[in-house]
Structure 1
């Protein structure tokens, strides 16, 4: 089986390649904008900027002999450049879909997210048929919803194409520690202090209840999808639900009640001042995104996460403290990149520039 992975150098992409390398009979092809300096063996690499106007033409011949295309390409930063994010996330996804259709690829697997869902319950679980209008205040969520609408049209117009949508919660692994710190915390986070596994104060709100999953477990789900003939959408998350109380127990901290408006205001002001890279839309998404049932993944894929959500979070925090990284461009530890202190000292402010 020849599998083309678009966005192969990111958090989920590196985990998927790691898993496919151990699976006999699978030929992996990696596509990303900037190729890893250390590519190893067993993977065929191509450099393509999916947001460029020529992306469809460049991707079509690469897809021509593929049995499946897995689209993981997505940009979270720079949050202050919404045009660039739309270019990669929405227009780039459209270019990939067009290339899949032109090349006649039989299977398309799309990385979606819990962010595609409309606001929902925090003490119950929604299935894959929950409304998919996103959380309007979040550009990330709106873009996920737009991409899935494109997939709806493609499925309607091309019924022989197998389309699968993967909707995970937060994806954690140690190697992504530096990347996630750059994208979501910025250069002012005292990451080294996390090496003791202690966070003294935990912001607490009744709706700060989220789900997470380890990158290796996500990769296992992708392999199960590629090895079967399933269609449709699959939620992926590990238990338990992450909330302020569970975080306080895990990191020996004290939950401190904070009103939602204060969380939003602090994010909005510090983002506007370029102190950190996360706008208020991410806070709204955290407060409004529903909890997901993963029963379909369990029953149809036989999927069961090996790492629980607390352990995955501990691993990520350890990665943040240890500046864990790889040589893959998005996961690099270059101190001059946006979101790192070296970048800040050189005028590369959080939420600006292109960290990919």
Structure 2
């Protein structure tokens, strides 16, 4: 059942201080149909956003769901975005936070009687698939790439939600499956997650990147984070159920990246790049694992027609604009006044 706009919806957002969270709370707070937004995070931010209140909650901590349910009680919807990407060398830690933490959150949603749950899944939940348009729809299998912890965890939670929906048919469950999400103020965080905290952002200049490696399978989709946030807002305020793919219209490949960076495309064996990445990861020189590299090259292209038809969603930014925003943010060290998004220019 859709939320009644006249009553002013109360929405709780987990992971509210990250890349997606900061955009989602702003999108919700800016909608007159939303009466209040409570942002939950492990560390309370110094960020001030009109219409948004903050509270601390660490989903990874074992214990009963009672205290968490207390924070959710009275909410019309919960948007679950909390996710930990690192440490990639210790998948037990991310499993405890991402999977077990999500199970605690789902239990608290049911205990608190929240009527709607909007969960952040991912393109990473999908099994390997075609790299060509029109792409796969939401019926494509969600078994992930089992060797990558990120994909394995996202896929596992898809199975958990299958059971959750059977046990709680009264709760409207929405699963968002976006491609890669970029914006300027999240660029520093993403540089740290994938390239390490000591990768100098200014290196991502066209004159310092004379070529872009063309790897077999290097075709992926991106979306501006603010556009994804609008899809979350529409899902919260509608009666929509089920999964939604989210991506900008175009597919990004090596040639598209070369155009943005002013470089040229050079064909490089995939095995060569993987061997170098594996050595760097094992030496703890980079945080991005070779297993995630394997997964990215196998991700299917998404058809996001259902989001456009059911939610009435239309991205305001192109894929190139989202990538350009990310590159600007990395070079300048952009960020926000939250623990995950703290900006810092290295180099």
Q: Which bracket does the TM-score occupy, shorter chain normalised?
A: over 0.9
Q: Counterparts in 2 of 1:81-160, with a 5 A limit?
A: 81-124=90-133, 125-160=135-170
Structure 1: distance between partners of 2:74 and 2:82: 20
> Which residue number corresponds to residue 23 of structure 1?
31
TM-fit CA distance, 1:268: 1.0
Structure 2: distance between partners of 1:188 and 1:51: 27
TM-fit CA distance, 1:232: 0.3
Q: Counterparts in 2 of 1:96-245, with a 5 A limit?
A: 96-124=105-133, 125-194=135-204, 199-245=209-255
> Which residue number corresponds to residue 347 of structure 1?
none
SS in 2 for 1:148: helix
TM-fit CA distance, 1:197: 7.7
Counterpart check, 1:262 vs 2:272: yes
SS in 1 for 2:291: helix
Structure 2: gaps (5+ residues): 1-8
Structure 2: distance between partners of 1:289 and 1:196: 27
Q: 1:311 to 1:38 in 2, by over 3 A?
A: closer
> Which residue number corresponds to residue 6 of structure 1?
14
Structure 1: distance between partners of 2:31 and 2:205: 35
> Which residue number corresponds to residue 346 of structure 1?
none
TM-fit CA distance, 1:186: 1.3
Q: 1:309 to 1:157 in 2, by over 3 A?
A: same
Q: Deviations over 1:141-200 (max 9, x none)?
A: 000001111000011111111000000000000001110000011144331133568632
Structure 1: distance between partners of 2:200 and 2:64: 39
Structure 1: distance between partners of 2:321 and 2:48: 29
Q: 1:128 to 1:310 in 2, by over 3 A?
A: same
Contact 2:216 2:270 (C-alpha < 8 Å) held by counterparts: no
SS in 2 for 1:175: helix
TM-fit CA distance, 1:53: 0.9
SS in 2 for 1:292: coil
Structure 2: distance between partners of 1:197 and 1:184: 22
> Which residue number corresponds to residue 349 of structure 1?
none
Q: Which moved more, 1:247-256 or 1:323-332?
A: 247-256
> Which residue number corresponds to residue 333 of structure 1?
343
Contact 1:55 1:96 (C-alpha < 8 Å) held by counterparts: no
**How many residues end up aligned between the 2 structures?**
337
Structure 2: distance between partners of 1:299 and 1:323: 37
Counterpart check, 1:34 vs 2:38: no
Structure 2: distance between partners of 1:82 and 1:133: 18
Q: Deviations over 1:71-109 (max 9, x none)?
A: 000011121221210111100000000000101110000
Q: Deviations over 1:214-251 (max 9, x none)?
A: 01100110111111101000000002101001111111
> Which residue number corresponds to residue 308 of structure 1?
318
